[in-house]
Amino acid sequence: MIINEVLNSEEINFLEEHISNVNYNRELTSDEFEDFYSKVEDLYTLQGFDESYDLNDIGKAAEPIIDKLAKY
């Protein structure tokens, strides 16, 4: 899977701000994809909620990305 073929430029820009060391332009192996997916889930889980456990801006941006990636 090549990430930039699944996600739009806005989603990729968001991820580039929060997740480093990912090449969004090349085919990922299944292990690389699983690692990347875990990083996105961690971002959502650890930074995607405010003190009241409501989605914050990071969570609102990460949630649809996770939904798209879950299809793969």
Of the candidates 30, 22, 24, 32, the one whose C-alpha atom is nearest the C-alpha of residue 5 is: 24
pLDDT tens across 13-57, in order?
999 999 998 999 999 999 999 999 999 999 999 999 999 999 999
* Confidence band for 1, pLDDT divided at 50, 70 and 90: confident
> What is the Cα–Cα distance from 18 to 62, expressed in whole angstroms?
10
Q: Give pTM, 2 decimals.
A: 0.91
Residue corresponding to tokens 């299809």: 71
Residue corresponding to tokens 């989605």: 55
Neighbours of 25 (CB within 10 A): 10
Q: Which residues pair with 51 in a beta bridge?
A: none
